[in-house]
Structure formats: structure tokens, C-alpha cells
Chain A
Amino acid sequence: NAGVTQTPKFQVLKTGQSMTLQCAQDMNHNSMYWYRQDPGMGLRLIYYSASEGTTDKGEVPNGYNVSRLNKREFSLRLESAAPSQTSVYFCASSEVGSIITGELFFGEGSRLTVL
């Protein structure tokens, strides 16, 4: 009964280092999303994948890349981390891209600190 699983849960990086956040869902959902959550700003969409094989930019895509590896997995990569990318990152999935017929399910978050 895992739902949406994110790894790692915590990570500290130095400026310029790279890393990948992993996300996997076991609900056979088609759509997956990456958000970042910053104090006083709510959640903002970084990238999303409407279905396997497709990805699109969200509101704040700069500095990030994504890969929809298969239907289950959607990874977020920081090629050269910057302090402005210090945030809590959430992965989410939904059966389809509609929030009328479906619902977003969120992972527990990954807290990233860039020094």
C-alpha cells in the first residue's frame, strides 16, 4: 500500500553538485508531477508528465530536468545545484490529468538543502 514513494527524503548538496530525486507510484497512474514547496509560497509545479513518454514544463522549470522512465517512475534531476533550489520537493500522481474525475496523490516529500 505504498502509493507514491520518493527517495531520498533528505539531501544536502554543495553548490554545483548534481543529484536526482526518484519517484515511483504503484497505482498504475498515467500522470505524474514534480512540485517544490517554499515557505510562504505554497506548491509550485516544476514539471509534469501527462503519460508515459511525455514531459512538459510547469511554472518553475529552470535548473531542472526530468525523465519519465516508465509508467511507474518519474525522476527529477538537478544538474548544477544552486542555493535557490533549497526546498522541499513533492512528487504526485493522478490516474489521468484531470482533477475532476481524479485526484492527486502526493509522496511524503524530499527536503533538499544546497549550501
Chain B
Amino acid sequence: AQSVTQPDIHITVSEGASLELRCNYSYGATPYLFWYVQSPGQGLQLLLKYFSGDTLVQGIKGFEAEFKRSQSSFNLRKPSVHWSDAAEYFCAVAPSGSARQLTFGSGTQLTVLP
């Protein structure tokens, strides 16, 4: 079975600084990869996804993620963080395109300092 690890429980950055959130997965083949964001009091929203092709994918809100097969990683990045980016971020993987097989990581809480 696949698994997802987000090694950073909590990250604090200053507004305007760059951001990288780490995600590692364990799966025999290349799974389908996702990043979701959960703003306070809200449900999860899809930021971006990777299925195949170009290993650098662009998402909403200025986020991007890079798939690195050799490292089994799918790290999320943003060049300049805004205060509104403060939220919890979840990496998720699925071995196929079936939504019921989606496995979520434990999440990384992002705090943005003014």
C-alpha cells in the first residue's frame, strides 16, 4: 500500500520569503500526486496535481511542485509567501485515478509572520 510522509509538522516563514514544503511517498510505481490546502475553518482545496509529463507543475495561488522520481518526492514551493497563505497543506497520493484510493499525508501547518 502507498504511504505519504510530510516530515515538517509546522513551518514558519516571513511574508515575502520563499517556501518549500516537503512530501515523500512510498509506492512501487509513480503514483498520482496532489497538494491540497486547508484554510482555517474551510474544507480542502486542490492546489495542483501531477500525473505524468513535465515534472514541474503549476497550480493555483502561485504555487508549484516538482516531482523527483529518484527521491520519491513531490515538494511544494512558492517564491514569495503572502499572509493569506497561512493554512494547513496536505500532500496526497493515489496509485490509480480512483478517488477512493487517495491517501493523505499528515499535513504541514504554515504560519506566516508579518
Contacts and interface: CB of A to CB of B under 8 A. Distances in A.
Q: Do A and B bind each other?
A: yes
Interface of A: 4, 31, 33, 40-45, 48, 50, 56, 58, 90, 92, 94, 97-109
Contact of A99 (B42, B44, B99): B99
Contacts of B41: 108-109
Contact of B98 (A98, A105, A109): A98
A102 B51 CA distance: 13
Contact of B90 (A42, A103, A105, A108): A42
Contact of B100 (A40, A56, A107): A56
A105 B36 CA distance: 11
A90 B99 contact: no
A72 B105 CA distance: 29
Nearest to A91: B43
Contacts of A33: 99-100
A109 B45 CA distance: 13
Interface in B20-78: 32, 34, 41-46, 49, 51
14 contacts: A43-B104, A45-B100, A45-B102, A50-B100, A92-B43, A94-B99, A97-B99, A98-B97, A100-B32, A102-B99, A104-B46, A104-B99, A104-B102, A106-B45
Interface residues of B, number: 25
A102 B99 CA distance: 9
A27 to B, nearest CB: 13
Nearest to A49: B100
Given A43-B104, A48-B100, A99-B32, A106 B94 contact: no
A42 B107 contact: yes
A8 to B, nearest CB: 14
A14 to B, nearest CB: 26
Contacts of B103: 42
A103 B104 CA distance: 15
A42 to B, nearest CB: 4
Contacts of B49: 99
B106 interface: yes
Contact of A31 (B44, B99, B105): B99
